[in-house]
Chains A and B, each alone.
Chain A
């Protein structure tokens, strides 16, 4: 099955799939039944990292890069003159299993250009997942792309074999989507999302009643937004993300800095470099919403529609709200401690636990991993009496922090830093 032709196809179809940033393999807990191949671990495992610093967890590949759509931002758009090819389902199955057995990957992330009809394409994707599960007894992770326009029945079928389903919104506002992808519209994207959400909820209910009811997309659904291809501001992007988390129960929203793959298309901006810093700030803001109990309006609002590129969103929030600081770490609630810049989820939990035994001082904070050189302006503890944000003033702190990062930037021209 696998031969020299496979190598060429792999080159083309991996290259075609790489702009989809999702790579998570977490959230599923599929045991290996009856001595088959693989299992899905609930926390997910990255197996490698590419030289652009992105994690490789799944074999991210397209079934084919033929596509009838002509979306301006996409490398695979129909009007592009690029080499086109297609895998057979059997080839993908074999590649997945052989890679999996060598511990290269955590599973498969399969997507496709739209060929013939959306339903036909969806059926092909489902067939790969079905073969893996039923013929090869494969229990590893599978992420399938839900093809826009596929029927509800097709999506429901796919969810029976996949751990995660995703529908990409790509463009954060409807009018801009219409402009760049005339064949797509928001209802066409949100409807399948609703179907998947419904399927997941019903399945949870069923599995509560019958422990052996078949799973439906146990790792939930995710989506991707392209950043910087259109003039949408961060407030629009994050408000959309926040409503997706709350209303559609999405597990993840991914932000993908726009890379001008079709530079000839005049509807798209000319960028020298992808907006990596902005992308990083959006991820930080996303983290604040998901793990730090922040509301989207607290991060961006009409007065501050865009994230601060110089400072991370949590610090930026603190400088805008000096009245709430300094926070007494020996008395404040967990949610409030999380608001202190330089204290993350882990150290906040350690502080809360340690407080039961006695008052916590700055030396202990440092040992617990608190970034004190940042946090010290926003907290009080047992003995610390250094000047806080109220003495230095937000403007003064801003100067201090931006100078610190500028010093560091010299050897780092790249915007993508680690999260927090």
Chain B
């Protein structure tokens, strides 16, 4: 009965898996170093992230799983669900202990859970691609803020980089307080003083944006209003497809 504390990175988690095997630990929960409270029932085992150990586990998984199967694990991890490490750990044990690939055994709830979580995180990733709205700042940077339910921004970087290759942009996760900046050459992780982001609008002060930005926002809103067919008005369907929690970031819903 061990409580694993680690640095909350995927590499750290893989190291933890290694330690669990190596030291024959039985994890009951995985928590970040800062979240650990010693009153928790169980013995603490702190994990020091180790690239070598993580790599051993990762390579071991690759022997038993397809590339997609391995990718799914990394993507599930980004869900940051409170018990995601346990879900992954249970699955990894099953994978490593089986002689045949169990990847498609969807009758097994562990396998199905991994697949369904992957679907959920992918869906949120898709929503970032759909609902991010850039605003052009006076520094000629297209700025967008967002707070996805899961930590999926890293999964969207490639999409935005290849699509908007000739404009520099920033996508910022207001909740997790970090983002990505593309400077026409490469994408880098950034974070800045969060007081610059308005807590209600979730974006920068209006003075940061160019004049024609306001014009194009107006044009877009006009267009959005105009293409609705009034005879088919259907607000409940609208809300189902465009959940309210995204409205804050959508130009057309302001």
B109 at the interface (CB under 8 A from A): yes
B228 adjacent to A50 (CB under 8 Å): yes
**Residues of A close to B235: CB separation below 8 A:** 51
Considering the chains assembled together, what is the distance between the CA atoms of A309 and B233 in angstroms?
20
Chain B: interface residue count, which band? 35 or more
The answer, yes or no, to whether A264 is at the interface (CB within 8 Å) is no
Q: Does A7 contact B (CB under 8 A)?
A: yes
Pair B107/A354 contact, Cβ less than 8 Å:
yes
Check: A385 CB closer than 8 A to any chain B CB.
Answer: no
Nearest-neighbor residue (CB-CB) of B241 within chain A: A49
| Contact assessment for A18 and B107 in the assembled complex, using a CB-CB cutoff below 8 Å | no
- Whether A7 pairs with B162 at a CB distance below 8 angstroms is no
Would B234 and A101 count as touching, CB distance under 8 A?
no
| The stretch of B55-63, B70-78, B163-171 that contacts the partner chain | B163-171
Partner of B238, one of A52, A99, A364: A52
Is A2's CB under 8 angstroms from B166's CB? Answer: no
Interface centre among A55, A98, A351, A411 (most CB of B within 10 A): A98
Instruction: Give, as a whole number of angstroms, the nearest-CB distance from B186 to chain A.
Output: 13
Within 8 A of B (CB), among A336-366: 350-351, 353-354, 356-358, 360-361, 364
Distance in angstroms between the alpha carbons of A50 and B220 in the assembled complex: 12
- Interface: B68 (CB within 8 A): no
Judge whether B166 and A14 touch: CB under 8 Å. no
B193: Cβ under 8 A from any A Cβ: no
Contact A45–B129 (Cβ < 8 Å) = yes
Contact (Cβ within 8 A) B163 A38: yes
B229:A356 contact, CB within 8 angstroms: no
A15 CA to B228 CA, complexed, in Å = 8
B28 contact set on A, CB distance < 8 A: none
Taking CB as reference atom, which chain A residue is nearest B105?
Answer: A357
Of listed B107, B222, B231, residue having the most chain A CB within 10 A: B107
Tell me whether B238 and A53 are in contact (CB under 8 A): yes
Residues of A within 8 A of B229 (CB): 18-19, 50, 52, 54, 259
Nearest A residue to B235, CB-CB? A51
Report yes or no: B218 in contact with A7, Cβ–Cβ below 8 A: yes
Bound-state CA distance A38–B164 (Å) is 6
* B227-254 CB contacts (< 8 Å) to partner A: 227-238, 240-242, 250-252
Among B165, B184, B236, chain A packs the most CB atoms within 10 A around the CB of B165
Complex CA distance for A32 and B159, rounded to whole angstroms: 11
Cβ B222 vs Cβ A10 within 8 A: yes
- Write the chain B residue with the least CB distance to A260: B231
Residues of A within 8 A of B135 (CB): 102
B134 to A11, Cβ gap below 8 A? no
Q: Are A50 and B130 interface neighbours, CB within 8 A?
A: no
Contact call A53/B237, Cβ cutoff below 8 A: yes
Chain B nearest CB from A23 CB (Å) reads 10
- Asked if B163 and A39 make an inter-chain contact with CB atoms under 8 angstroms apart, the answer reads yes
Bound complex: CA A50 to CA B250 (Å) = 12
Q: Are B226 and A10 in contact (CB under 8 A)?
A: yes
Q: Which of A353, A361, A418 is the most central at the interface, judged by chain B CB atoms within 10 Å of its CB?
A: A353
From the candidates A35, A47, A53, A60, name the one contacting B234 in the complex (CB within 8 A): A53
Q: Tell me if B165 and A358 are in contact (CB < 8 A).
A: no
- A259 near B107: Cβ-Cβ < 8 Å: no
Q: Which of A48, A60, A95, A354 contacts B106 (CB 8 A)?
A: A354
Partner of B112, one of A14, A50, A367: A367
Contact with A along B151-180 (1 / 0, CB 8 A): 000000001001111110000000000000
For residue B97, CB closer than 8 A to chain A, the reply is no
Most buried by A among B102, B212, B222, B237: B237
In the assembled complex, the Cα of A39 lies from the Cα of B165 at a distance in Å of 10
Q: Given A15-B227, A18-B229, A416-B237, A48 and B163 touching (CB < 8 A)? A: no
Q: Digitize A30-44: 1 where CB-to-B-CB distance is under 8 Å, 0 elsewhere.
A: 011001111101000
CB of B52 closer than 8 Å to a CB of A: no
Contacts of B189 in A (CB 8 A): none
- C-alpha spacing A56/B142, complex, angstroms: 21
B250 (CB) vs chain A CBs: closest residue: A48
Instruction: Please tell me which one of the listed residues B136, B164, B184, B227 contacts residue A50 in the complex, with CB atoms under 8 A apart.
Output: B227
Say how far A48's CB is from chain B's closest CB, in angstroms.
6
A103 interface contact, C-beta 8 A: yes
Across the interface, which residues of A come within 8 angstroms of B132, CB to CB? 103
Given contacts A10-B226, A53-B237, contact A39 B162 (CB under 8 A): yes
CA distance A253 to B241 in the complex (A): 22
Additional A-B contacts beyond A51-B234, A356-B104 (17; CB < 8 A) = A11-B222, A18-B229, A41-B159, A50-B228, A50-B229, A52-B230, A52-B237, A101-B164, A102-B135, A102-B142, A103-B134, A259-B232, A354-B108, A357-B108, A368-B106, A414-B234, A414-B236
> Could you write out 26 A-B pairs with CB less than 8 Å apart?
A2-B219, A14-B223, A18-B226, A18-B228, A18-B229, A32-B163, A35-B165, A45-B129, A47-B131, A50-B227, A50-B238, A51-B238, A52-B232, A53-B241, A99-B216, A99-B220, A101-B136, A102-B216, A104-B220, A257-B232, A274-B232, A350-B106, A354-B104, A354-B108, A416-B237, A418-B240
* 7 cross-chain pairs, A with B, having the tightest CB-CB distances, nearest first: A53-B237, A52-B232, A353-B104, A354-B107, A357-B105, A354-B106, A49-B241
- Chain A residues close to B by CB (< 8 Å): 2, 6-7, 10-11, 14-15, 17-19, 31-32, 35-39, 41, 45-56, 59-60, 95, 98-99, 101-104, 137, 257, 259, 273-274, 276, 350-351, 353-354, 356-358, 360-361, 364, 367-368, 411-412, 414, 416, 418
Q: Which residues of B contact A (CB under 8 A)?
A: 102, 104-109, 112, 126, 129-136, 142, 144, 159, 162-167, 184, 212, 215-216, 218-220, 222-224, 226-238, 240-242, 250-252
